Amino acid sequence: MIYGIIKKNIMTEQDQLNCNNDNMRMINDTLRFIVPMLYSSRRGLNDDFFFNEYLVGAFTSDFYRPEFDEGYTVLLAYKYDHSEKYLNFEKKLIESLQILDMYSYDEQDIVVYVVQIPENFFEDYDKIACQEFDEISPELKLNIWKMWSLNSKDNLAKIINNEVEYDGELFEEQILKVE
């Protein structure tokens, strides 16, 4: 079982409060390395789909819901909206991914989707947990390249190609602008 991904990206109350500030989200290692396991350009599950204006964040654990800490899952948190656009997004999310559970933080209108990682990435999930980024499968490396539109000079590209050591501190604070 996995007990942590790198520095265990845990959803906290501060993350819930930050989602109301503006359309900027912190990029964490779950977004960098785990969410690309869900990428599928064929099904339209790409950066535009996941990194939309409703995104709160992606986490491997929720401080208030420890029952989802184990297993090969990712917690995708989105700001709920009653609009047709959000409902279409949610419908596609539910139809396209293996959703194990859903729960909400009603005070902040946040919906968290507990998503099963595809079985073909279980080994990669374990390698990321052990910080063996250069050992991940070529398929995941390609998904990361595509999802983040990388070039060879990007730190993330250097990490997965084993050109630099990564201790969780290589990136300056990065912000993802969602529109």
Structure tokens that stand for 89 in this block: 């997004």
Mean pLDDT across the stretch 8-24? 47
Residue 177 placed within a domain? no
pLDDT computed for residue 17 by the predictor: 45
Residue 3 placed within a domain? no
Weakest mean pLDDT among 19-23, 34-38, 94-98, 106-110: 19-23
Weakest mean pLDDT among 3-17, 44-58, 94-108: 3-17
Number of domains in the chain: 1
Residue 160 placed within a domain? yes
Q: Residue 166's closest CA among 138, 121, 136?
A: 136
CB-CB contact of 11 with 63 (8 Å) = yes
Report the percent of the chain where pLDDT is more than 70. 76
Residue 19 placed within a domain? yes
More confident residue, 133 or 46: 46
- pLDDT of 172 > 70? The answer is no
Mean pLDDT across the stretch 63-71? 85
- pLDDT of 38 > 50? The answer is yes
pLDDT computed for residue 169 by the predictor: 53
Give the Cα separation of 2 and 37 in Å (integer): 16
Residue 94 placed within a domain? yes
Residue 101 placed within a domain? yes
Residue 4 placed within a domain? no
Give the Cα separation of 91 and 56 in Å (integer): 18
Residue 176 placed within a domain? no
- What are the pLDDT digits (tens) for 81-134? 999 999 999 999 999 999 999 999 877 789 999 999 999 999 999 998 888 888
